[in-house]
């Protein structure tokens, strides 16, 4: 299964550094998981992800179960063999994408009925099926099926989702049988702190080896998201890894690390990269802008990533405007490097007990986000 070891705690924040041992190797935390939606981190090969410092990937059960299908992945030897990544993998339960992508959803206590966004075929996702599919995929970490209400939702809807998620979590835990796979619980509760507390209490009682905060990055204002994370994280067992699902922008991740979160995933670096939006220490730039047309410097002069080491903003702008795949690749490589090296810097800072100053110095250059903006979404279409 997994073993989580706390290695360091920051001096002035709740940030913590640790090591997560899995059947496919170790992950230094806090860690960012690049998203391999359909069994491939878009435009990247596994060896390139490894070279950028990625230690764990996320893959989406909804997408993989519709195509190529979980039984095929099992016959391929599991997701690690299928996609050629021998490091740790986490799969989500598929629930989030059912709610955000599929048509004709009908949810009851038994599970969710939906139609595939690919061919309209009807499927029934139950807690037991979510576990079975994830066992076929064979990731190191699987997630319980949860009900994730949108924002805004009525308090009653959120309370019902909390209760249903707890019932589903128990059914998932009962069905889970792979000795080499850890099943994480998920806390729901929307923006209601008392419902969050209720969800934490019930989920912790089920004694999962790791806990996720779900139901964030669903459209709520950034300030509310931060309040939820800061409230919920310290309620979770200190000796288990904490995963904040689908968050987010760099500033959101640093803030959540300060609250004691260990694991992150988000499509922002890859999706933004495909659109020519590039992260720099001075903030986001859009490489399509005319200002970069004759800028013969790299994205960032001191960046050691393969994109910055070999190519200029002018060239990448040309490639992106000309719709060349190579342009997408260079932006994606740099953005993933930006995220992964940001997390590496955070780990170092925590170990040195100076995460607070690290966080402030980053924001001073990068710019502070607006508290009212919604955070980044988790789903990749």
Residues that bind a second copy (CB under 8 A): 38-47, 63, 67-68, 72, 75-77, 82-84, 293-294, 296, 306, 310-312, 314-315, 317-319, 321-322, 324-329
Question: Residue 113: beta bridge partners?
Answer: 106, 124
DSSP state of 333: H
Which is it for strands 16-22 and 25-29: parallel, antiparallel or unpaired?
antiparallel
Nearer to a second copy, 32 or 311 (CB): 311
Does the annotation mark 265 as catalytic?
yes
Of these residues, 92, 140, 252, 262, which one is catalytic? Answer: 92
Nearest to 59 by CA among 100, 87, 21, 28: 87
Shortest distance, position 275 Cβ to a second copy, whole Å = 14
SS3 category, 5: strand
Give the distance, in angstroms, between the CA of residue 310 and the centroid of all CA atoms in the same chain.
Answer: 29
| Pick from 134, 97, 132, 136: nearest CA to 117 | 97
| Residue placing its CB nearer to a second copy in the complex, 139 or 172 | 139
Q: For 211, how many CA atoms within 13 A lie in the half-sphere containing its CB?
A: 27
Query: Contact 143/90 with Cβ under 8 angstroms?
Result: yes
CB of 105 to a second copy, least distance (A): 22
Longest CA–CA separation in the chain, Å: 60
Of 103 and 293, nearer to a second copy (C-beta) is 293
Q: Measured from the CB of residue 196, what is the shortest distance to a second copy in angstroms?
A: 36
Pick 214 or 379: Cβ nearer a second copy: 379
CA nearest neighbour of 108 among 160, 173, 151, 156: 160
* Residue (281 or 318) nearer to a second copy, CB: 318
Closest CB to a second copy among residues 28, 38: 38
Least Cβ distance, residue 268 to a second copy (angstroms): 17
Contact 145, 130 (CB under 8 A): yes
Asked if 144 and 173 count as a contact pair (C-beta separation under 8 A), the reply is yes
Would you say 114 and 130 are in contact if contact means Cβ atoms under 8 Å apart? Answer: no
Q: Comparing C-alpha atoms, which of 127, 98, 137, 119 is closest to residue 186? A: 127
146 assigned to active site: no
As measured in angstroms, the least distance from the Cβ of 326 to a second copy is: 4
Fill in the DSSP letter of residue 233.
G
CB of 322 to a second copy, least distance (A): 5
- Would you name the residues annotated as active-site residues? 92, 265
């Amino acid at each position: 299964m997994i073993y989580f070891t706390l290695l360091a705690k920051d001096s002035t924040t709740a940030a913590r550094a640790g090591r997560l041992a899995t059947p496919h190797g170790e992950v230094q935390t806090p860690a960012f998981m690049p998203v391999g939606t359909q069994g491939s981190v878009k435009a990247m090969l596994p060896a390139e992800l490894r070279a950028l410092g990625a230690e764990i990937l996320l893959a989406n059960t909804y997408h993989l179960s519709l195509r190529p299908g979980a039984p095929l992945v099992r016959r391929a030897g599991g997701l690690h063999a299928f996609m050629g990544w021998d490091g740790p993998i986490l799969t989500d339960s598929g629930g989030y994408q059912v709610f955000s992508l599929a048509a004709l959803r009908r949810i009851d206590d038994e599970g969710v009925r939906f139609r595939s966004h690919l061919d309209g075929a009807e499927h029934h996702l139950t807690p037991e099926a979510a576990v079975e599919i994830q066992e076929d995929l064979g990731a190191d970490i699987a997630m319980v099926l949860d009900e994730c209400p949108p924002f805004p939702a009525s308090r009653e809807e959120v309370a019902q989702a909390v209760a249903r998620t707890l019932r589903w979590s128990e059914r998932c835990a009962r069905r889970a049988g792979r000795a080499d796979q850890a099943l994480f619980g998920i806390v729901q509760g929307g923006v209601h702190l008392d419902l969050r507390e209720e969800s934490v209490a019930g989920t912790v009682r089920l004694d999962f080896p790791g806990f996720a905060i779900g139901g964030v990055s669903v459209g709520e204002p950034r300030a509310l998201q931060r309040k939820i994370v800061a409230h919920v994280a310290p309620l979770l067992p200190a000796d288990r890894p904490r995963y904040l699902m689908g968050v987010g922008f760099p500033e959101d991740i640093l803030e959540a690390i300060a609250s004691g979160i260990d694991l992150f995933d988000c499509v922002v670096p890859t999706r933004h990269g495909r659109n020519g939006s590039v992260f720099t220490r001075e903030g986001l730039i859009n490489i399509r802008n005319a200002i970069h047309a004759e800028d013969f410097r790299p994205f960032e002069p001191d960046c050691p990533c393969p994109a910055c080491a070999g190519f200029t903003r002018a060239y990448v702008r040309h490639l992106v405007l000309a719709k060349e795949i190579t342009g997408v690749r260079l932006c994606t490589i740099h953005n993933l490097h930006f995220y992964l090296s940001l997390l590496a810097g955070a780990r170092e800072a925590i170990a040195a007990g100076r995460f607070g100053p690290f966080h402030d110095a980053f924001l001073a250059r990068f710019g502070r986000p607006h508290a009212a903006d919604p955070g980044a979404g988790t789903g990749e279409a």
